[in-house]
Each structure stands twice: as structure tokens, then as C-alpha cells.
């Protein structure tokens, strides 16, 4: 305890007693949920790989495609846990560094999708009328095209590359948020406390920022967590097809795309990046499921 905290009576703990109690309840619900804890565990490992990656990997220079032909296509061993690829780079190193790329992809894609989708959803739900009609119809059309196909089309126009792949995925991803937030806003708009706020003369913006946005937070967090995984999967799919990150960029999908040419004899080359995608997506999904159980129990599929 620091001195400033002691002089500050009643302490932080007392002033936030109810928040702490709620957090404790959430924590306990979450801890009792086995699969959510598994998800949290996987994501923790993933984040550790992101944070410590360059310092813990055995061959940092291999991340960007250093060439060491003497060591090419070595099976997994003590010095190369996941084996080596066709130019002799350490697959383990590249998979660990790939976590950074994936996190970046997940954050950017879901970030942009939220940035476009959430305001549109709130506007649609709150303003209503033809504005809502217009926004929702456009959203519906986007939602009724298979996402990956649309992303391929957009990536095809923009040309291959990790940046374009992220842009394409973001352009495909936002409608989901519009749908989610519009529905939530509609139900909140009719809620008692919004009526009360309106009756005491609160302005529209104030209602949006004080009453609606904070209440949309739970579903956004839950969907955001799941979408992190799905965006990583989407980017890996584009990478695999050759429309996303280009080798030797350490992106998991792109690694598999090269590695498949070396099947079946050099199976480790595509096996380990695939496991990485699988576990990461699984982790984010389980985490999202667990978060939904505590934050938004009624919002199941």
C-alpha cells in the first residue's frame, strides 16, 4: 500500500465495493467454466508469444526469411523443434513470430469493422426511418454474400499482399456489427431508463454516449473476441490461396501455402503453422463463449 492511498479515506476499495463484488462474481463464473479457462490459457500463451517472440525464438533472423540452405527441410529435432523449411529457416521461429502478424491482423480487421459497424448500427437503431432502412438493406446485402468470396474479389482487385488482405477482410466484416448493434440499440431505445433520461431532457448525443454505448459494450466485447479468431482464420485462408501475405512473410496461412508443396515427406512444414491457426482460433472462440456466459447470457446464437 502506498502512502497516498492510505490518506485517501474512504479508500478505493470502499468506494468501488459494488464494482469489485461484480468483478469477483464474473471471475468466479469464468473460473468455473472449464472451456473458457482453456481458452484463456491458449490466448495467454499466444500473447506471451507476441510479447516475447523476438527474444525467445532460437533463430530470430529466420523470421523474415534468412536463407540457410545447408539446413533445409530438416525434421523436428532438439535444435529445430518444428523442423526447418525449404530455405533452412526454423519453422518454430517463424510460427512464434507469426503470432505477432496474426494478432496484428485480428486487431486491425476487427478494429476497422467495429469502427465502421458500431456507429452505423447505433445510427440505424437510434434514428430509425429511411436512414435505418437504407443502412440495414445495405448491411443485408453484404451479409448475404459469403464473406470469403467477397474478400477474394476485393483482394483480387487490390492485388495480393498482407495489407490488402486486411483491408478486404475489414470491408467484409463490418456488417455483422451493424446488425448486432442496431438490434441492441433498438431494444435499449425502448428501455425504461432511456425514456427516463429523455423525459428529463437529456440530449440525443448524451443518451447515445451515456446510456446506449456502454450497454452495447458487452456484446461488442464478446463478438470482438470471436472475430479476432475468425479474422485470423480469414487472413490465413487468403494467405493460403496466395491472395494475402506473400512468402517469406511469416504469416501462418502463407507458410502452409508453400508447405503444402512439400507434403507428405516434409509434413512438419505445413502441420505446425496449421496447429497454430487452429489453437489460436479455438482460444479466441472459447474465450468469447466464456465471456458471453458472464456478460451476455441471453445472447447465444
In 3D space, the residue among 247, 245, 239, 241 whose CA is nearest the CA of residue 65 turns out to be 247
Sole binder of another protein in the list 69, 157, 200, 205 (CB under 8 A): 157
Q: With 0-12 CB in 10 A as exposed, 13-18 as middle and 19+ as buried, what is 118?
A: buried
Grid cell at residue 231 = 479474422
Among 2, 6, 7, 144, binds another protein (CB under 8 A): 144
Q: Which residues pair with 84 in a beta bridge?
A: 90
CA 42 from chain center: how many Å?
14
Nearer to another protein, 15 or 260 (CB): 260
Is 271 one of the binding residues for another protein (CB under 8 A)? yes
Site string for another protein, 196-235 (x = CB under 8 A): ---------------------------------x---x--
Does the footprint of another protein cover residue 299 (CB under 8 A)?
A: no
Nearest-approach distance from CB 207 to another protein, in angstroms = 30
Cβ-based neighbour number of residue 20 at 10 Å: 13
Asked if 50 touches another protein (CB under 8 A), the answer is no
Interface size with another protein, residues (CB under 8 A): 51
Looking at the Cβ atoms of 26 and 267, the one nearer to another protein is 267
Q: Which residues are near another protein by CB under 8 A?
A: 35, 137-138, 140-142, 144-150, 152-157, 159-160, 229, 233, 236-237, 240-243, 253, 256, 260, 263-264, 267, 270-271, 274, 277-286, 289, 300-301
Amino acid at each position: 500500500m502506498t502512502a497516498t492511498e492510505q490518506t485517501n479515506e474512504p479508500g478505493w476499495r470502499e468506494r468501488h465495493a459494488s464494482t469489485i463484488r461484480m468483478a469477483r462474481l464474473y471471475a468466479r463464473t469464468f473460473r468455473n467454466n472449464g472451456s473458457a479457462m482453456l481458452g484463456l490459457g491458449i490466448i495467454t500463451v499466444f500473447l506471451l508469444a507476441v510479447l516475447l517472440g523476438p527474444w525467445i525464438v532460437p533463430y530470430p533472423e529466420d523470421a523474415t526469411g534468412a536463407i540457410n540452405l545447408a539446413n533445409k527441410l530438416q525434421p523436428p529435432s532438439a535444435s529445430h523443434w518444428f523442423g526447418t523449411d525449404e530455405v533452412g529457416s526454423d519453422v518454430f521461429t517463424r510460427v512464434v513470430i507469426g503470432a505477432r502478424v496474426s494478432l496484428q491482423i485480428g486487431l486491425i480487421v476487427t478494429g476497422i469493422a467495429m469502427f465502421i459497424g458500431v456507429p452505423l448500427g447505433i445510427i440505424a437503431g437510434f434514428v430509425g426511418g429511411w436512414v435505418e432502412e437504407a443502412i440495414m438493406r445495405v448491411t443485408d446485402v453484404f451479409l448475404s454474400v459469403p464473406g470469403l468470396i467477397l474478400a477474394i474479389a476485393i483482394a483480387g482487385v487490390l492485388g495480393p499482399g498482407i495489407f490488402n488482405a486486411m483491408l478486404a477482410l475489414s470491408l467484409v466484416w463490418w456488417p455483422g456489427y451493424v446488425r448486432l448493434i442496431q438490434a441492441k440499440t433498438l431494444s435499449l431505445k425502448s428501455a425504461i431508463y432511456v425514456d427516463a433520461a429523455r423525459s428529463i431532457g437529456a440530449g440525443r448525443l448524451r443518451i447515445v454516449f451515456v446510456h446506449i454505448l456502454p450497454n452495447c459494450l458487452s456484446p461488442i466485447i464478446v463478438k470482438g473476441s470471436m472475430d479476432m479468431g475468425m479474422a485470423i482464420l480469414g487472413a490465413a485462408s487468403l494467405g493460403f490461396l496466395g491472395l494475402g501475405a506473400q512468402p517469406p512473410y511469416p504469416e501462418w496461412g502463407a507458410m502452409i501455402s508453400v508447405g503444402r508443396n512439400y507434403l507428405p515427406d516434409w509434413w512438419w512444414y505445413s502441420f505446425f503453422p496449421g496447429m497454430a491457426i487452429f489453437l489460436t482460433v479455438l482460444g479466441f472462440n472459447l474465450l468469447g463463449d466464456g465471456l458471453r456466459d458472464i456478460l451476455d447470457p441471453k445472447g447465444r446464437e
